[in-house]
Amino acid sequence: MYPQRTASDFSLRVESAKDGLYLMMQGRLDRENAEVSLQALMDQIDVHRVQAVHADLSGVTYLDGAGISVLVAAERQAKAKGATFSIQNASLQISGFLGLVDRENLEDCPVCGRRRSAGLIERLGGSTIRIVRDVLFQITFVGELAFALLHSMRHPGKVRWGDTVGNMERVGVDALPIVGLISLLVGLVMGFQGAVSLQTYGVGILLSKLISLVMVQEMGPLITAIIVAGRSGSAFASEIGTMKVSEELDALTTMGLAPTRFVAVPKLLAMIVVMPFLTLFSDIVGVIGGMIVGVAMLNVSYAGYMNETLSSLDLWYLIHGGIKSMIFAVLIAGSGCLRGFQTEGGAEGVGRQTTSAVVTGIFLVVLANALYRIGLQAWN
C-alpha cells in the first residue's frame, strides 16, 4: 500500500498486487479535481511497471465528463506502457454513464492541465480571422438587406405592414418624451451659453438665429439619432439575438422564409419613416428651449423671436436635416439587426451584441454626420 494522494473532495489509494496495480479512488471525480487526480494517476502508472492497471471506482460518489476524460487519459497512458486497463466496482449510475461513452474512439480532450497561453502569433492570427469573418458577414448582410429592401419596394404587398407599424410606434411615438426632454435641455443650455456672449454686444435677438440654425442643421438630427441608437438599436439587436439563440431564425429558414426579409426589413422601414419626424420634433422643442432663455434673459418678445427664427431658416435646411436623419436611420437599424444576427453563446452573447449594436450605431452616426457636413461644404 502506498501513501494517499488527495485533492479537494477526492482521494487516491494505490495498492500493488500480483495481478496488477489497483488505483482505489474515493470522492468526486469531476472538473474541479481533474488536474490533481489525473496527475496522481499518471504518476502511479509511470512509476509502477505492471502488466495490468485496475481503476477501482467503488468509493467514487460523483463522476462527470471531466472525470471520464481523466479515466480515458489514464487508460491510454497505461496502454502506452504496455499494460491493460480495466474499471471495476463502479456504482450502477456511474456504470450507466460510462456505458454511454465510446472510450476507444474518444478524441483527446483538454481535461486537465493548464492550457498553454497563446503566443503573440496565435493571438494575432485569431484576431485577424475574427476580423475577416466579421467583415465578410457584414458584406453579406448588407447585400441581403439591400436585396430584401428592393424586393419589398417592388412587391409592397409582401411587406409585413403590421409589424412595420408596430415598430414605428415603438421607435417613434414611444421615443417622443425622451427626445423632447433632451432637446429642450440642449436648447436651454445653448440659449444660456449664447445669451451671455450676445448680451454683452447688445445683439440678443441673434440668439434665435443661433439656436435655430444649430438645432436644425446639426444638433436636432444628431441628438435624435443617438437617442434612437440607444433605445431602438439595442432593442433590435436584443430581439433578433434572442431569436437567434432560441433557434427561431432557424425555424423561419426551415419554413422557407428569409430571416432578413421577415425580421429586418420591417424594422428598417419603420425607422426610415419615423426618423425625419422625430428629428423635426427635436428641432421644434430645441428652438422652444432657446426661446425660453431669450424671453427670460434678453427681454426678447415671443413674436420677435419667432419672426427672427423663421427668417433665418431655409427650406433646404429642413430637407438636409431630413436626409441626414434617414441616413442615420439606415445605419442604426442596420447595425442593430446585424449585431442581432451575429449573436452566439446564449444570454451572454445577446448582452454583448446589444452593447456592440449601440456602440456601432453611435459611431457610424457621428462618422456619417461628419462626412455629410464635409461633403456638403465641398459641394457648395
How many Cβ atoms from other residues are within 10 Å of residue 350's Cβ? 24
Residue labelled with grid coordinates 434612437: 228
Q: Write down the pLDDT at residue 324.
A: 93
**Which residues, in sequence order, are bridge partners of residue 54?**
22, 86
Beta strands in the chain (DSSP E): 5-7, 10-17, 20-29, 52-63, 84-88
Give all strands of the β-sheet with 52-63 in edge-to-edge order.
Answer: 5-7, 10-17, 20-29, 52-63, 84-88
CA distance 352 to 354: 5
b/e per residue, 259-279, with b = 16+ CB within 10 A? Answer: bbbbbbbbbbbbbbbbbbbbb
Indicate if the alpha-carbon torsion angle 328, 329, 330, 332 is positive or negative.
positive
For residue 47, give the C-alpha cell. 512509476
> Hey, what's the cell of 251?
425555424
Specify whether the CB–CB gap between 203 and 308 falls below 8 A: no
Residue 104 gets which letter from DSSP?
T
Q: Give how far the C-alpha of residue 75 lies from the chain's centroid of Cα atoms, to the nearest Å.
A: 43
Nearest CA to 12 out of 103, 47, 92 is that of 47
> What burial letters (b/e) apply to 125-144, b meaning 16+ CB within 10 Å?
eeeeeeeeeeeeeeeebeeb
Residue 205 C-alpha cell reads as: 435677438
- pLDDT given at position 9: 67
Cell 465510446 sits on residue: 102
- Reference 97, options 87, 107, 108; nearest CA is 87
Secondary structure of the chain: what % helix, strand, coil (to 5)? Answer: 75, 10, 15
Residue whose cell numbers read 445577446? 350
How far apart (Å, rounded) are the C-alpha atoms in residues 109 and 104?
13
Place of cell 460523483: 62
Q: Which residue has the cell 462527470?
A: 64
Residue stretches of the chain with pLDDT short of 70: 1-9, 33-34, 47, 101-118
Q: What is the pLDDT of residue 113?
A: 45
